[in-house]
Amino acid sequence: DCRHAKPTFLKNINRGNGPSGICLSYLLSGYTPYLDPMAVHPNPILFRKLQEAKQLPITEQDLEFLCEGLEGRSGNPVAVLFDTLLHPNADLGFEFPSVLQWRLEKKHHIPHLVLGKATPGGAWHAMEGSMLTISLGIWMELPGVNYRDLTPGKRRSVSNDRATPDEISSYYKNYVKLMGLQKNFVDNTYVTSVQKLHRSHEKSTGDEKNTVNGQLNGDTHVPFSLFAENVVLATGAADSPARLGVEGEDLPYVFHSVRDLGVAVSCHSNLSSSPDPVLVVGAGLSAADAVLCALNHRVSVLHAFRKRADDPGLIFKQLPKTLYPEYHRVYHMMCSQVYPASPVANPTAPSPSLFPDYTSFPEHCVLSFQPDMHCVMRGSNGVLRVFKVSMVLVLIGTYPNLFFLKEQGQYLGLDPSKPISCRQNPVDINPYTFECNADPGLFAMGPLVGDNFVRFLKGGALGIASCLRKRLKHRIEKNRKLIAKEGGFNVIRSLDGVCFTSCCYKCCQLPCYL
């Protein structure tokens, strides 16, 4: 809602134009999945279920029935179902073809808009270009367009087919064009609020012309409003970096993005020539990416993290060595190049020396950052250590920015008393429709519901598209009976019970929805 004098009525709005939003737009645009009559799924039980209703598209079948008994690396059953239909037995290392056949059926088209802050691709445009994806390139692809077809000659090896962010963002932009989805996308758009309105509020929203949240509209912003029956949150979870909350975290040498390090080493050659190391805080993949980026530019690294180096919960233990050698290189250094621990603080004792390229500080927490670029850390034994650094990267996770919802969207979480977090507190949804349990008509998908990998976030698109198609079909059948009962008058009823005549289409130049 950006306040426009004449609001536009639409059926669905998808907030977020990353792979989640793109995949949902594909399914809502009439691209319909059927069981390929020539395909055989390696799971005999699932294959038998699919054959029972093979004449129906997957979106009209009972998803809960199809999901029974399936297991995978997502906690959302529809995500596991869609993944095994697109990539059968992928977790076992096989590369079987999809068992789905896609047909473009206009009768299944559901009008919608996809709003995004930039061009289609979402956060992939902002990632450090030298990194490689965690997932294989083929797992990053969306239905209907083979990833390798759009990235010829980019395959690295049979055992390592990972991609760079530049390749993936280019694939998503081209995908939107190839599938003819451009008309559904409104780029460079910021959503300022999402709220439930009744028809009686229509006049009041129209009176707020040329304002955005009460502020005068500037030359660089064109405000507008959209009224929709359904809204889908597909914003991802990388908008707001998690912070340590310590003294000095806002000093100019402290950053919260790997991309900032990439810019620094590219634009400021003195960083690599500085005798002071870069401090990386965190033990996840982003922190590992920062370590690798610094080492590749011959910048020495101090790496502080709260867990033990042998903690079984570290992500590195879940990654196969053959596919992720660079992350295992970082993990090996985390374990082997540890700063010597002192049992007690002794000011007169000489300080242990740092390793020349990388030194890890397990079970350390940062206490403060000082204006003179000194960082104060404390180890598990209580000993304080102070180091002068050239730059700090605090990479301890991210949170979605849901400022446009009431309570920052917190009321939607599994635990409404805590902020939304993709791991600790995802949005509470119906597992088969992805509709928010706390707010009917509002849907969520992707990292917001715990699916951080592209191969699984596509399940949200299947669940939402299936739900909306079934509801639309039910409403059409219900209104046909209503029209017949009322003697043929062309009466159209909105969800809140208000009646409109067919002239609404002529006035708005937009269809009215049954």
Same domain, 232 and 332: no
pLDDT number for residue 227: 86
List the one residue out of 77, 72, 97, 79 whose CA is nearest residue 87: 97
pLDDT tens for residues 346-357?
555 556 789 999
pLDDT class for 213, splitting at 50, 70, 90?
very low
Task: Specify if 80 maps to a domain.
Answer: yes
* pLDDT tens digits, 101-133: 999 999 899 999 999 887 776 554 455 445 555
- 423 and 436 share one domain: yes
The number of helices, as runs of H, and strands, as runs of E, in the chain is: 13, 21
- Enumerate the β-bridge partners of residue 114: 14, 185
DSSP string, 35-73: E-TT---S-HHHHHHHHHTTTS-GGGS-HHHHHTT---S
Which segments of 386-496 does DSSP mark as H helices, in order? 454-485
Residue 83 lies in a domain: yes
Number of domains the chain is built from: 2
Q: Smallest Cα–Cα separation from 235: which of 407, 395, 409, 73?
A: 409
Q: Which residue has the tokens 């530019």?
A: 297
Q: Quick one: tokens of 287?
A: 């922190």
How far apart are alpha carbons 203 and 332 in whole angstroms? 63
Cα 4 from Cα 302, distance rounded (Å):
51
Which region holds residue 217: left if phi is over 0, alpha if psi is between -120 and 50, else beta?
beta
d(CA 19, CA 169): 9
Is 166 in the same domain as 268?
no
Tell me the residue range of the domain where 299 lies: 243-341+351-396
**Domain co-membership, 304 together with 364:** yes
* Number of Cβ atoms within 10 Å of the Cβ of 353: 9
Tell me what pLDDT residue 218 has.
53
For 10-27, what is the mean pLDDT? 80
149 and 221 share one domain: yes
Do the domain assignments include residue 117? yes
Kindly state whether residues 422 and 304 are assigned to the same domain. no
pLDDT single digits (tens) 446-456: 999 988 778 88
| pLDDT above 90: residue 500 | no
Taking only the tens place, the pLDDT of each residue in 241-271 is: 889 999 999 999 999 988 888 888 877 556 7
Note whether residue 121 is domain-resident. yes
Both 77 and 150 in a single domain? yes
Which pTM does this prediction carry? 0.76
Say yes or no to pLDDT of 435 above 50: yes
* pLDDT grade for 398, boundaries at 50, 70 and 90: confident
* Shared-domain flag, residues 194 and 217: yes
Are both 31 and 127 inside the same structural domain? Answer: yes
Nearest C-alpha neighbor of 32 from the set 99, 98, 108, 132: 108
* pLDDT for 36 beyond 70: yes
Please state, in angstroms and rounded to a whole number, the distance separating the CA atoms of residues 380 and 185. 51
Which is it for strands 100-104 and 112-115: parallel, antiparallel or unpaired?
Answer: unpaired
In a domain, 185, yes or no: yes
Q: Domain check: are 233 and 263 in the same one?
A: no
Do 170 and 213 lie in one domain? The reply is yes
pLDDT at 412 over 60: yes
Question: In terms of pLDDT, which residue wins out, 20 or 164?
Answer: 20
* Rounded distance between C-alpha atoms, residue 466 and residue 67, angstroms: 14
Q: Which helix (H) or strand (E) holds 330?
A: helix 325-336
CATH number of the domain within which 366 lies: 3.50.50.100
Position 18, amino acid = G
Helix/strand/coil percentages in the chain, nearest 5: 35, 20, 50
Q: Which two tokens stand for residue 429?
A: 């949804």
